Homo-oligomer: A and B are copies of this chain.
Amino acid sequence: MILRDYHLTLRDVSDQQPEYLETVFSLANGHFGVRANDPISGNPITGTLINGFYETAPITYGEGGVGYAQKHQTILNLPDLRHLNVATNTGHRFSESTRTAVDLDLTTGTLDEQYELKTHQGETIQMAVKSVIGQNQTSFWGASYSFVAGNYAGGLLVSKAIAVPAQAEAIPSADPRKTRMAGLPVCETAFINQRLQRYHVKTRTTKQAVTAFLGMLTPNAKLLQQPLDLGDRQAHTLEYEAYVGEVGEQNTIDPAAQFMISSLSALIADSRDFWQGVWHRSEVTVGGNDELNLAIHYNIFQLNQAAGRDGRTNIAAKGLSGSGYEGHYFWDTEMYMLPYFTYTNQPMARQLLYYRYQTLPKARERAREMGVTKGALFAWRTINGEEASAYFPAGTAQYHIDADIAYAVGKYYEITRDLDFILQCGFEMVLETARFWENFGAWHQIGASSRFEFHTVTGPDEYTALVNNNYYTNRLAKHNFELIGYLANEIRQRYPNKLADFGIGPADLEKFQKLADHVYLPYSADLQINEQDDSFLSKPRWPADKSTPENFPLLLHYHPLTIYRYQVAKQADTLLADYLFPEDLSVDQLKREYDYYEGVTTHDSSLSRSIFSILAARMGDPEKAYKYFMDTARMDLVNLQKNTADGLHLANLGGSWLALVAGFSGFYVQDEVVHFANHLPKEISRLTYRMKIAASVLEIDLSADKTFVSVISGPIPTYGVSVNGDLISLAKSSSYEE
């Protein structure tokens, strides 16, 4: 395994603003994240985000209504673990700092930084910081700080303590993509001894608690009592480690028992071990473009950092790299990020789906609140499973999240054959979402025929709201109905009497099949394309005089009513359904749809370009696919959306992986066959990547005229593999050459 282009440095990112760098170089492990705050001049009271650790606050509506989401859920932005106070022994504080070099090693998860520190009096020293977060031991983070003399070479006083704000910062903002005010948790901090500080934080509203410890590892008592002496021109190093407890109702761990002082090198080894596993299963190499190669490695790295691994947490829209979108989980998980895990790390995919399962009781309640008598409606945005969207037209109205989750369960099962999961969680989710669609939709009689419709919904495109028969929603709901029949059949084959436990019988399955057969899919006979919804195509196009660059993203410049009345899409909508169901339409129709919808799409959503890339590849336009891919692959590294400071665009990170895998290599799974097709653009001389499907790690190797698929580890797969339309047989390390 050759590991190149696995180092992200300051030269690789377009922006050098501190808030931007904090996001881009953040470390995380699914449990918590540490933004790369400047340890000297950064804000000491924010920078640590714990997955699923949040406060609630009542949502205030200018004019409220029945069934509106009641509470904001806001991830807490907790004090920075990296912060450090450094002063000369004459009391001059090093208050200014310049980050002169950074190296994030994606193979080990180690972050190396160089700073130049300066006092008001002009004294300078150099500081090197090496930090790492535990990946198997996910409660740990550690850092070493090394100092060498600059123009100052005297005694140095270093102290480190978790700063506790008087009260949590309130950040009101008119930009809905940013986070809103944080809650006001109760914080306590105390030094257990000179080397060890305890920090206890307890939320006021959600009754969660976390205990953290920050301790000095270097077991040299002398260091605690007298200044470092830089006069010898040697590097003087101090090591610290932090333990961040799990989220619980009462988290009051005994430090002696729990806070095991180890060493930074042990933590680095732990992290390296984890990342080796990741790269073994999912290494991607893009030949011919080092920049791109690095970008895709970075994206995979951050996807792995962000994903909650404990079944109680999920992947926030910004991961653990920032508090944008309040740390909420959206449909992005299932449709943009989960595929990476489903095809490289099935146990993680299972955990992410399990998170949804444990919110199912709340989803059932929500369906009742929304006037639907059976089934479950998952929250559009949430941490705890309750709906937290304060703007229902682009929140709760995106009912498609139900079918998205069902789709993801189906995809997971398709490749894992994990019937245990289906019996324990998956079937219930697919059944309850199918029941929701059944009771939410309505039969519409037109002449002699009748069709099943869904009214007043919002599809993925948030620039078009409250419409009837959104193609994407209807297509996914149709799949939801079909999936319940498929899974029921899988269960029945193994456990003939099991279905009764779920309260369904043959009549129910017939009913779902009938619904699936009759779900209405709007189609324009005129344009010979699928219609985004019943009225989309009849609206006027977004006017030219509102199309100059400063008008974008539209949501920051126009009232929703203004946007909604035009035929303009924020992102892939009907095309997203086309991507998911390649069998639905001919390449000719796909081309027509693509041309049409591309003309009305602004890509104001970071979820858009990856899908346009995939479909361009599929329809034989690799140059266009490459263009879109380049924007997705490097979106955060070039700060394309100009808000990376609030956190990474996780869905797009997943999307960029999809663009490579589902786009350039034509990957999809259907009917137990794994398909590949070579759609490489001329700019990419070679694409090699790995997947783990079932117990086998596959390596796919594409170049202009060759497509190899080989088994790197694990058994020979039992599923079929198709390359460019031909079924091939895989032997261990065998390959197929076009």
Contacts and interface: CB of A to CB of B under 8 A. Distances in A.
A734 B390 CA distance: 65
Interface centre among A66, A391, A393, A540 (most CB of B within 10 A): A66
A565 B470 CA distance: 13
A91 interface: no
Interface string A540-563: 100001100000000111111110
A468 interface: yes
A382 to B, nearest CB: 14
A334 to B, nearest CB: 22
A67 interface: yes
A539 B66 contact: no
A436 to B, nearest CB: 13
Given A455-B539, A561-B370, A562-B370, A66 B556 contact: yes
A392 B560 contact: yes
A538 interface: yes
Contact of A65 (B66, B396, B559): B559
A442 B176 CA distance: 29
Given A62-B59, A389-B63, A369 B455 contact: no
A621 interface: no
A391 to B, nearest CB: 4
Instruction: Count this chain's copies in the assembly.
Output: 2
Contacts of A545: 373
A66 B535 contact: no
A149 to B, nearest CB: 52
Interface of A: 59-69, 72, 174, 176, 369-371, 373, 389-393, 395-397, 440, 442-444, 453, 455-457, 465-466, 468, 534-535, 538-540, 545-546, 555-562, 564-566
Contacts of A390: 61-63
Contacts of A62: 59-61, 68-69, 72, 390-391
B396 A561 contact: yes
Contacts of A373: 545
A395 B62 CA distance: 12
A392 B392 CA distance: 12
Contact of A565 (B456, B535, B566): B456
A546 B65 contact: no
B456 A559 contact: no
B565 A66 contact: no
Contact of A66 (B371, B457, B557): B557
Nearest to A174: B64
7 contacts: A61-B62, A371-B546, A371-B562, A455-B539, A455-B540, A456-B539, A534-B534
A397 B558 contact: no
A539 B69 CA distance: 25
Contact of A561 (B176, B392, B534, B565): B392
Contacts of A539: 442, 455-456, 468
A738 to B, nearest CB: 47
Interface centre among A395, A465, A560, A565 (most CB of B within 10 A): A565
Contacts of A468: 535, 538-539
A712 to B, nearest CB: 47
A390 B62 CA distance: 5
A545 to B, nearest CB: 7
A176 B322 CA distance: 36
A479 B538 CA distance: 23
Given A62-B391, A453-B538, A455-B540, 7 more contacts: A64-B174, A65-B555, A455-B535, A455-B538, A455-B565, A455-B566, A465-B466
A558 B67 contact: yes
B559 A392 contact: yes
A74 to B, nearest CB: 12
A340 B176 CA distance: 46
B559 A369 contact: yes
A67 B369 contact: no
Given A61-B390, A561-B370, A444 B538 contact: yes
A362 to B, nearest CB: 16
A555 to B, nearest CB: 7
Contacts of A564: 455-456, 466
